[in-house]
Structure 1
Amino acid sequence: METTKQFITTLDQLPLNIGREVQINQQEIALFRLEDNQVKAVGNRCPHENGPLAEGTVAGDFVFCPLHNYKVSLTDGQVQAPDEGCVKVYRTSVEDGDVYVWA
């Protein structure tokens, strides 16, 4: 499937460490601005019981699912052991203060 670059918002409109759900091409994506101003995007549903990751708690490069506290890497989408699973990771960029996601 071909991906396209989509403008989402401006960096200053994304609060630090607070998830935001966005819809791109019928895909539900959780978007996060980290402490170092990196922007990460992953599939919004935890592989355990479909918890909304955009509502989770962010710590470093991880988000904790709000339902059962599964720890998901925002870098590679892997759920941390001893739990299992993964979510899709989306490419992001910040260009002149504008946030883009490829989906």
Structure 2
Amino acid sequence: MSKAAKILFNVAAIMAVFSVSAFAAEGGETYKWAHYIAAGFGMGIAALGTGMGQGNAIRGAVEGISRNPSASGKISTTMIIGLALIESIAIYALVVALILLLVV
């Protein structure tokens, strides 16, 4: 397991432990601060993951183009589609964060 994966796992474990207080409300009280923290951490982890994924995708595309310049059109098209799919993960995380902040 890489160092980045260990760090992400530890952050997820810490978030899981602290998120219990959001569901332990008594008498209908809600802890809004827990929702703010969860939304912030969720967006931060999503941005970190998508940034790393996009960096790896671009690195691979540039390496592929440098090895075979005649295939640059196909590689670039595939890379742009892949980057759009990677970015959609961050958009999904934003939607979940907004639901946490506005609905709950």
Same fold (TM over 0.5): no
- TM-score relative to the length of structure 2: 0.23
Bigger strand share: 1
Report 1 or 2 for greater relative contact order, CA contacts < 8 Å, sequence distance ≥ 6: 2
Bigger helix share: 2
In our comparison, the structure showing a higher alpha carbon Rg is 2
- TM-score relative to the length of structure 1: 0.23
